[in-house]
Chain A
Amino acid sequence: MCLAVPGEVLELLPDNMARVQFGQTIIAISLTFVEAVQPGDFVLAHSGFALTLLDKEEAAAQLALWHDVAAIMEEEAAARAARAS
């Protein structure tokens, strides 16, 4: 029930609402709990409200780190295989 879904803000609406796209679905949600949201931003939505503005830089840094981890693990596995043969 604590499921929250990332969606892209398409347009700001009156009454602190916004049109937000989740996959193929577009719905209006409340921006009551977030600040300084702009079209193009991604928010995490739950029960008709934006819970937070997703941090693009943090996300990109984490993905880059995992990419490096995967590459290093592959290199180490290849090195072990080479030593074993």
Chain B
Amino acid sequence: MKYVDEFRDAHMARGLVTQLHAAAAALPRPVRIMEICGGHTVAICRNGLHAVLPDNVRLVSGPGCPVCVTPSSLIDAAIWLAQQPGVQVFTFGDMLRVPGSTTTLAQVNEHTHSVQMIYSPLQVVQYAGDHPDQRCVLLGVGFETTAPMLAAAVAQAAERTLPNFFYVSAGKMTPPVMRALLQDAGVALDAFIAPGHVTTVIGAAAYQFIADEYHKPCVVAGFEVCDILDALVRIVRQLARREQRVEIEYTRSVTHAGNLKAQALLAQVFMPCATAWRGLGVIPHSGYALQPAYARYDAHKAFALPVVEEIEPAGCRCGEVLRGVCLPYECGLFGKGCTPTRPVGPCMVSSEGSCGAYFRFGVQP
């Protein structure tokens, strides 16, 4: 067992597609199911699942791409930081090409050589320790999957009492944005496919409110083709029987309680705060702020970051795409003014953005 190819078996996938069609025949009306996670969107597009779905089951992508939901004002703040003398900005690769209001981190870096792509946040702690003359800023973008690693970097910098390590809090939480979507009358969803890796950290119990308060099914799924099909079968069966439960499909990785060690470190370093999501506005308790004990690492305080106005590119419908009310190919720029090589909006830039995935894998209406 290598935990990859076994879960991509075409024979099993065909069986699950047949089972999905049989389950969907019992649906009283057409349904809209949102895959929150950008990783699911990519897997769905890559495997051509849109084309094999029953006619009465529609999948829409959600806001689960951290790069896509990062406000352009934060990118602008990171660009400003990268232009300060003696500052190095560290971030995950996906962030480099996201357009701020006028430019990208990658374009700025051609002149400043002050932006570094990281694989693990701990690299920043290492670099800061080795380069005491540089002020090192970690751009903390990511959902709950990544937040424990960001917390580990902050905690480690604090243990080493590094004076030149700084942190931009831009992490985000998934359950609050799911609640915001359920409260948004324009979105109208019947069920969620919940993100498998986020839930490995936070535990499936975090979604119980979706079943209890909003009466919708929610199934936590893995990322291989059979995982997603199995999750769809479970959701459609619940909908056909008018049931509303939180189920775990990704049983090899996810539990109801989640990873308690990761949760403990998250609680030690971060506290929930209201934060702005691109396209969705400010959502209460959906962000990670540093706890007071770690406030000295807050880049916002250390650098007096300029307050920048939020500017969306003309014609870009990323905000609606992130809420699932506009499918990528319904945007007037999709594939014309906006492509992966010349992206206008963040959903086309990121490897997990819905527009990029729909474009690369040729998903058709």
Chain A interface (Cβ within 8 Å of chain B)? 1-4, 6, 8, 30, 32-35, 42, 44, 46-49, 51-52, 54-56, 58-63, 66-67, 69-74, 76-77
Shortest B318–chain A CB gap in Å is: 16
Shortest A72–chain B CB gap in Å is: 7
User: Are A1 and B141 interface neighbours, CB within 8 A?
Assistant: yes
B160 within 8 A of A: no
B339 within 8 A of A: no
User: Are B145 and A60 interface neighbours, CB within 8 A?
Assistant: no
- Give the residues in chain A near B15, CB-CB below 8 Å: 66, 69-74
Q: Which residue of B lies closest to A8 (CB)?
A: B2
26 contacts between A and B (CB under 8 A): A1-B66, A1-B141, A1-B146, A2-B142, A2-B143, A33-B148, A34-B261, A42-B2, A44-B200, A44-B253, A46-B145, A46-B146, A47-B119, A47-B149, A48-B119, A48-B121, A48-B149, A51-B259, A58-B252, A59-B3, A60-B1, A62-B230, A63-B6, A69-B16, A70-B16, A73-B15
- Give the residues in chain B near A51, CB-CB below 8 Å: 145, 197, 200-201, 253, 259, 262
User: Are B120 and A52 interface neighbours, CB within 8 A?
Assistant: no
Knowing A46-B146, A51-B145, A69-B19, the reply to whether A3 touches B14 (Cβ < 8 A) is no
B11 within 8 A of A: yes
Q: A4 touches which one: B6, B19, B123, B200 (CB < 8 A)?
A: B200
- Give the residues in chain B near A66, CB-CB below 8 Å: 9, 12, 15-16, 226, 230
- Give the residues in chain B near A73, CB-CB below 8 Å: 14-15, 18-19
Knowing A6-B2, A66-B12, the reply to whether A54 touches B145 (Cβ < 8 A) is no
Q: Which 3 A-B residue pairs are closest in the complex by CB-CB distance?
A: A70-B15, A48-B120, A6-B3
- Give the residues in chain A near B66, CB-CB below 8 Å: 1-2
Query: In the complex, A72→B15 CA distance in Å?
Result: 8
Query: In the complex, A60→B251 CA distance in Å?
Result: 10
B189 within 8 A of A: no
Query: In the complex, A54→B262 CA distance in Å?
Result: 16
Query: In the complex, A57→B11 CA distance in Å?
Result: 21
User: Are A55 and B146 interface neighbours, CB within 8 A?
Assistant: no
| Extra A-B contacts (4), CB below 8 Å, given A2-B37, A48-B149, A59-B3 | A2-B38, A46-B197, A52-B253, A73-B15
B122 within 8 A of A: yes
- Give the residues in chain A near B246, CB-CB below 8 Å: none
- Give the residues in chain B near A56, CB-CB below 8 Å: 1, 252
B307 within 8 A of A: no
- Give the residues in chain A near B3, CB-CB below 8 Å: 6, 42, 54, 59
User: Are B92 and A54 interface neighbours, CB within 8 A?
Assistant: no
- Give the residues in chain B near A59, CB-CB below 8 Å: 1, 3, 6, 251-252
Query: In the complex, A58→B259 CA distance in Å?
Result: 17
User: Are B121 and A47 interface neighbours, CB within 8 A?
Assistant: yes
Query: In the complex, A68→B201 CA distance in Å?
Result: 31
Q: Which residue of A lies closest to B94 (CB)?
A: A1
User: Are B200 and A70 interface neighbours, CB within 8 A?
Assistant: no
- Give the residues in chain B near A70, CB-CB below 8 Å: 11-12, 14-16
B152 within 8 A of A: yes
Knowing A55-B252, A73-B18, the reply to whether A4 touches B12 (Cβ < 8 A) is no
Q: A69 touches which one: B12, B120, B145, B201 (CB < 8 A)?
A: B12
Query: In the complex, A6→B223 CA distance in Å?
Result: 12
User: Are A33 and B39 interface neighbours, CB within 8 A?
Assistant: no
User: Are A32 and B152 interface neighbours, CB within 8 A?
Assistant: yes
- Give the residues in chain B near A63, CB-CB below 8 Å: 6-7, 12
Could you give, for residues 138-167 of chain B, a 1 whenever the CB lies within 8 Å of some chain A CB and a 0 otherwise? 000111011011001000000000000000
Query: In the complex, A76→B18 CA distance in Å?
Result: 10
Q: B146 touches which one: A6, A47, A60, A62 (CB < 8 A)?
A: A47
- Give the residues in chain A near B344, CB-CB below 8 Å: none
User: Are A1 and B142 interface neighbours, CB within 8 A?
Assistant: yes
B340 within 8 A of A: no
Q: Which residue of B lies closest to A4 (CB)?
A: B197
Shortest A9–chain B CB gap in Å is: 13
Query: In the complex, A60→B1 CA distance in Å?
Result: 8
Q: B252 touches which one: A1, A30, A54, A74 (CB < 8 A)?
A: A54
